[in-house]
Structure 1
Amino acid sequence: MRWNLVLLAFVALPISAAPGVPVDVAEPLLAHDAEQRWVPFELTPGNQIRFAMDIGSARATAILDTGVSTSVASRLFANRASLKLEPGRGERADAIGGAVPLGWTRVERLSLGALTQARARLAVVDLSAIATGGAEPVDILIGSDLLACCALDIDYAARRFRLLPSGRMPFAGPRAPLARLPRTGVFSTAATIAGRQVRPLIVDTGDGAALTLSRTGWAGLRAKPAATTSAVAFGLGGAIETDLAVLPAVRFGSVGPVAIETRIEPKGGFSDQTGTIGRLGNGLFQRYRVLMDARAGHMILSPTATARDAPVRSTSGLLVGYDSGRLSVLHVMRGSPAAAAGWKAREQICTVDGTPVPPPTGGSVDTGWSAGAPGRVLRFGMCDGTERRLTLKNFY
């Protein structure tokens, strides 16, 4: 069985930087045949939507990221494409893991599906590979500043998306509210958890997790699971440790109820910094075909066959990442069998049950053993030549 690594090591990308829009930036234009302008994409190991697009005369690898207030180019791409940076002003932007240095540049033209934007202004930051959920860093994050012009139709099952005129409704399904936050302009919605409305939640296609709540949001819930554990998240500002639980019945407008894996940020985390209660990401959205139309005030989520599947829970407690033919332990989950057995972060695994670690397939590595049946005993060949055993069990 193959599981995307986001089930084991979460990746999140929100960044908040809300400058005034320059007066010489043109309105984005949509082609008349927008319905036919599908953009193919792949889901990265970190669960982000990665695709190719044109920035000026350069071809760029991009991530669709509604949690980014201003579209972002990497410093490496800016150098490669000879983009001129504006004079530095020592700006920084809030991001998962901490603030990051921020610069600015302009491009004469960018093209994304049916959309063309002339004289686009882009933020410039360092985009590390681990923050973008893959082995290689990407060139650009396409944010809500560009996407808010249109209705964004994401067909996760077919791995494609398109941009349509606002108000277009190519399919039917349950609805949730969708708006733009006043300060940052990112998309937001609301949820109902145990009878309480929770808002605002950032709608973030750059986040590989399903639901993240601030510590305050979590504390305010009337009913919470008794068992929680820990996980690790990686963002532009670095790594952070979060709590982790499964909420059994969450609603979004008329969507749900659904069981949803939930991360709880530390106090003072990204949600607190941005004045929000949390965010929704691709861990939830990929269960649906999704239409996001902030101008029309709604989000439509048409359920797929997996929409009501129970979240996959680790039974090992090992969060791992692929590293040159081996698995590197990124985090040992609190209260897990791995924690009880004394596993530590940065330990290296070379074989599982006698089988060498295979190379990634389609961007993901086979880690289904980490959520195997309770009672199963795994044998790990460590890269230092020792062998370890681990008995799987339910722990959260």
Structure 2
Amino acid sequence: MNTPFFCFQPRLAGALLLLLLLVPALARPARGQGPDAPPFRLGRARQRRVRVPLRVERNLPVVQVWLNDSGPYNFLLDTGVAVSLLTEAAIADSLHLRHGQDFRVVGAGGEATGLLAYRAPGVRVRLGRPGQEAVAPDMALLVLNADSLDLSGYVGLPIHGILGSELFRSFAVAFGANGAEDLTLTRPAFQRPPRGHRWARVPLAIEGQKPYFIAEVRQAGDAAPRPLKLLLDTGASHALSLETTSDPALRLPAARLPAELGRGLSGPVRGVLGRVATVQLGRYRLPTVLTSFPDAADVHARADVFRNGSLGYDVLRRFRVVIDYPHQCLWLHPGPTFREPFEHDMAGLDLFAMGPALRRYRVLRVMPGTPAAAAGLEAGDELLTIGLAPVGVFTLTQLSRLLRSADGTVVHLVLRRPSGELRAARLRLQRRI
């Protein structure tokens, strides 16, 4: 008997590509649950809602999770994933998780990757503090035999897994309630429309256990916007991604930059960065939104549900957000960062976190024709200081913000070449799109 497979498809997330498509068997409910039974429940029977700490790194939301009462482990919170997964097999081994059905992992084009995975049923998953917690007493996780995407190095924080649709099917999930970085999980029976005239309601369609919605997007030069079907993707750090193969009316913008949009299991996915004129979300219009345009046709062709693209966390972070699968709606309220401009990396380099504390940073790649290339930076260089400060005092999130802070900003660096040679560099940031 052949081993079943599941497919990783690219999802643009800055330097990360990760969209998980799973065969339906992976999402089957635990014993005794109906096909639509929510896996999570609140820790106390009479509770209506709980608040759970949330951390945002590199435009990606992260929560702490306990597995079989061991942990905590850091999990990305991701509406773009139908089935939650554990990316470190060593954790599964240490917890003696059951080894269920095996799967082979293939890339977006159907090519073999050499990776294997298995279904681990019967895992108790918990998040939140005692008295303010949500628990899934009998959940299945997908366990990868290797973290080939190295999420920790990209995020700059140890990442052990991804928590997907199971949490969102169980609660109305509010991000940034009262301006705080936390989650509020409300039992569906007690969720009410948020109060206040500034809240906007956007209908959601839950297909394949993922949320889709219609946004009005106007491309540069168009007189009117076009309704586009987008995946709502909390696990993507970009603002907007559009797949031109999905609609002949979608086109690449005249002002654009060739770019490596991310990396998947089969290597880099290339395309261009540009902007659209406006994105309309309910009553709110966002101008000049930075947009990724992947050039790989199979990003669209192998999607499990038709879509024109995806909306990521760089848009969502500008709002207070309620994602309500049970009532099929998205609520948006402008937050403190609503009017921040959408900016790209102004240096032209990708940094990768390494070392035991993930506070050493190596240049992963340098894009030709950019300030980093002009300053002589090369892939493999290790960043030692910025100004007079050692890089260990910065998180990767802080470094990323610095490198997209303002056009014309001059940054002084000291780097170490793989040969051990020390080199000083003067980097002048440049807005290129």
Q: Same fold (TM over 0.5)?
A: yes
**Which amino acid in the other structure matches residue 109 of structure 1?**
R
Give the secondary-structure state (helix, strand or coil) at the position aligned to 2:90: helix
Q: CA deviation at 1:259?
A: 3.5
**Structure 1 residue identity aligned to 2:31:** D
Q: Encode CA deviations 1:104-142: one digit per residue, 9 max, x unaligned.
A: 111253234554333322222234573254345433321
Change over 3 Å in CA distance of 1:296–1:237 after alignment to 2: farther
- In structure 2, the partner of 1:308 is 339
The Cα offsets for residues 258-308 of structure 1, whole Å up to 9 and x where unpaired, read as 442211223135444214322222111111111111232210111102112
Question: Take 1:72 and 1:25, find their aligned partners in 2: how far apart are those partners?
Answer: 22
Check if 1:168 corresponds to 2:192. Answer: yes
- How has the CA–CA distance of structure 1 residues 269 and 209 changed in structure 2, closer, same or farther, with 3 Å as cutoff? farther
The answer to whether the 8 Å contact 2:14/2:236 transfers is no
Do residues 30 (structure 1) and 41 (structure 2) align?
yes
State percent identity of aligned pairs: 23
Q: Is the 8 A contact 2:211 2:232 kept in 1?
A: yes
Structure 1 outlier segments of 4+, above 6 Å? none
Structure 2 residue ranges without an equivalent (≥5): 1-12, 219-223
Does residue 134 (structure 1) correspond to residue 146 (structure 2)? The answer is no
- Contact 1:60/1:140 (CA < 8 Å) preserved in 2? no
1:380 is the counterpart of 2:413: yes
Verify: 1:40 aligned to 2:53, yes or no.
Answer: yes
1:118-167 Cα deviation digits (max 9, x unpaired): 33222222345732543454333211144223311112741111322335
Aligned to 1:101: 116
The count of residues paired between Structure 1 and Structure 2 equals 384
Provide closer, same or farther for how the CA distance between residues 76 and 25 of structure 1 changes in structure 2, counting only shifts above 3 A.
farther
> Residue 291 of structure 1 is aligned with which of 298, 322, 341?
322
Say yes or no: does 1:389 pair with 2:396. Answer: no
- Per-residue CA distance 1:290-335 (angstroms, 9 max, x = gap): 1111232210111102112111233332332344565422333454
1:4 paired residue number: none
Deviations 1:172-218, CA, capped at 9 Å, x for gaps: 5112221112xx32111222111344543221111122212224258
Do 1:214 and 1:269's aligned partners in 2 also have CA atoms closer than 8 Å? no
Equivalent in the alignment of 1:88: 102
8 Å CA contact retained: 2:408, 2:430 = yes
Higher RCO, 1 or 2 (CA under 8 Å, sep at least 6)? 1
Q: Is the 8 A contact 1:150 1:293 kept in 2?
A: yes
Alignment of 1:163-202 (within 5 A): 163-166=185-188, 167-172=191-196, 173-181=199-207, 184-194=208-218, 195-202=224-231
**Which of 247, 256, 264 in structure 2 is aligned with 1:227?**
256
- SS of the residue corresponding to residue 102 of structure 2 reads coil
Shift of 1:68: 0.6
Q: Would the alpha carbon gap of residues 241 and 356 (structure 1) be closer, same or farther in structure 2, given more than 3 Å must change?
A: farther
Does the 8 Å CA contact 1:258/1:308 hold for their aligned counterparts?
no
The 1:121/1:94 distance shift into structure 2, 3 A limit, reads: farther
Residue 118 of structure 1 is matched in structure 2 by: 137
Residues 175 and 255, structure 1, Cα contact 8 Å, conserved in 2 = no
Alignment of 1:215-294 (within 5 A): 215-217=244-246, 220-221=249-250, 224=253, 226-234=255-263, 239-274=268-303, 275-294=306-325
What is the TM-score normalised by the length of structure 2? 0.76
Matched-pair contact (CA < 8 Å) for 2:271–2:296 = no
Superposition deviation, residue 66 in structure 1 = 1.0
Distance 1:344 1:128 in 2: 23
Write the letter of the residue equivalent to 2:168. Answer: L
Q: SS where residue 193 of structure 1 aligns?
A: strand
Partner of 2:363: 329
User: What are structure 1's unaligned runs of at least 5 residues?
Assistant: 1-7
Aligned residue among 68, 80, 84 for 1:56: 68
Counterpart for residue 236 of structure 2: 207
Question: SS where residue 316 of structure 1 aligns?
Answer: coil
Q: Which residue of 1 aligns with 2:176?
A: 155
